[in-house]
Structure 1
């Protein structure tokens, strides 16, 4: 959960621990990961910063990872010259962004022979930016500025790349933790890029190119309400513009600045007691509660009152947060942790500290979920962008009306007119154009806007279908009960184009996972019931195993598995008891598993169709009827044969 809340907690922790510390060692773990050893407050600290798309992060670790001396990159060379041996004089988080800046001051000399301090050196104290260039320049070689001796350390802090300069230099290491756009950027004191882990050309990003000797531009702030200042009326106004069926979690992610899916789920859970609540589920007072819980969740950013927690399932760390999260505690055991860095390390870093170390089942689930959440956030942003474009397309009609009005009142226009007033409506005119040319300009704008708007419905449908697939994938990952199920989901995710999830003993791009033919989970009176455990499974049970007259079931309106009843005899009448059991399974293998009752749709398989171009398991269906059931697993539904029907079939 590396969102703005976690980043704020990390920045506060770094300010308490490594500010005014000296960078003793720095190097690359891999091309996108930097590790450094910092001596501060009488002890060594190890810091890791990574721009890798799978696990971008910055936090302290228990021990310094193994550095790769054979790995030489332009960024690595610049860090060695300008950061190693320097002092961290400032730590700052960009407001409501996953961006933190470490400011480092260093005196470059022809022969920098400062030895490293003993572990028993005196504690140093300070605040952000407390050391000046004068203090750095006047520091006595072999001693800290407070006089503590450093002669007991081996000389790993030497800078043998110096070119004779004697002035103090300032550089800034900017760590941007933004999914696949993450980066490590070294700036000079004038804000020019010295080097970066990833180069971004103007062709790749017109707004934020990142190349050496170019000015650094921070990520532009989102033009959305600040959640720290959210009030009941503002929340109510936001909700009024949303469809009743929209989930409140998605509304918060799309409409508020810097709210991650995990933060949104916590806010909604605190407000309603469930993360699946829709706009229609909210009562009259819930907007005020939603605003209050949003401000409460972000309050530690102002007070520094962090309380890190690791959430364990099957005694394994699977999630973490800088403050207690009620929605995580509902399905995992919360364990208070001394620091947010330690919490992040327990979940983000493989046990044993080696890249080839075995990844646990629970950790793989957490990382796959994180990858899906990141993709879901991008889709939500795409949908929001399309909605904004759709709203702008309404203006096209105004352009047409303006053009027609100008033509109708050409007789009234004079050369150089800047406006046309008709029935209380003012139409802007270009004084350098004639009346006809002004009208034609409006018609051209109309045609351009109309042409752009034609593609919006198709793009919106594709984005919404992809969002539905991601919801389905997230549900199936959460409910995967075996290692094989989770591996199948990871293979499906990578095949679908998602961020690869590291796997022990396997190089990226190679898969050892084979798709197995689904087996019946339950048989009642000779009728076999199949449940899809992944998108591929859903396709297999629906279109490979089922005949046209078999029955297909799915929880209504929520992500979940496809369930098939393969009748003993094709075309026979549906059996009420079997349908009831299958519907209970469909409810159980859906995101509504914890509900008391769930509506489940059922139809003959011939009425189910794949959605062209969509992810595995995405379908449309018709001629359905609905049953209301209590969710139940196959274990709960096993014989005796005399058991009463789980549900009653109703049209």
Structure 2
């Protein structure tokens, strides 16, 4: 959020939430909280991205236990919002709360610093002493330590000022360094300085016009209309504008991170395939060990007759024939024979290792191709980051296992009801493992033939044998959730769960199966599966 947006937000809070009572404090995660007032909620996000403060309607939210939330409940719950103000030319907003209990008057301040990755929320008492901070800083050597019980200090000022006239935008570099406007707005007024007086007057009179504008290929949130910018979308409040921009930025960050993850997976697949080609060439060399063995044995049998290198004639006692060999001239025949036997022994010892490495590379390529397909189903930036850390862990850094990673994987399982039968669809490798090996032996298992895709299980335990329509819908779901779902026809294998096995040491989601049959799923069936997904009431397990 920029300084003009905070000014508009302060006006909106004073108009809509002034003199209302704090009913509850809800903290949904470590850096995001909601102040529940009489009519609206004040949402504060101190994440490094996005960071904002808006007014949102009441809605059910689950609160989690945090020390800062307990401090806010102790001091602010039951108080009234008295005042909302913005520090001049800074992105710092202060909410003042107060209450009267008999002859005792209490007053508290909640300072919200919207400053990118340095965003913070600090609770102060009436004497401006720090009671609690969302992000504590106990390092007294820093420019501004945050110590409980000590006086609050504002962050070091950047020395910015509000522009006085269009002349302040003559030099863009100086304007970005000295003015309190966001860079995109400074660039706009550098191109159109004649628009600044009307913008300044609208801010002073608090005549806001919230919109998302296009200033030349990029979209920005503006609290005042700009004549030379194209209006893309309008909003009825600054909160709606800021929240929409934050969601859009989060979605764009999600897409960028997802594309980066897919790109890294594609590079890893290419690297693994190159390694597989190298291993195959090394395995091909083991096909020459028979010729090497015969040559070494011939030299050994005729060693008493050989006097040096060059072209020599040896007798093959196995086939009772004479064979000509070309021996090196720079070493003795005995030394050359020992060298051949050592080479053969090395090939024999390395053969199992090369086969294991080749099998490992094949499993890795299969797993990466599956995850590349499933990347499109990652719906939050947290899931993308978790998957990136799982696939490409940093050297020397191990992620501590916890319940959060388990819950992320559980969210990738779709549970559907079709004609009284439950259908389970896995949308990640770990979810596929859970769907497949959590099923009963007599359940039916479906998967696209030789293609990365979802494991689909048709649960029929203690039920009559499923009819053809239920089997066809399960096959259509397996075809719909596979990499080749855009094709007109997809082959789907199906078998009972008891015929599905997992090879030892393979990545999650890797299985082999027997006693299977194959169905050919057409485009109409996949479209029917899509319509079924849109109309069904999905449950998540």
TM normalised by structure 1 equals 0.39
More helix by share: 2
TM normalised by structure 2 equals 0.46
Which structure would you say has the larger Rg?
Answer: 2
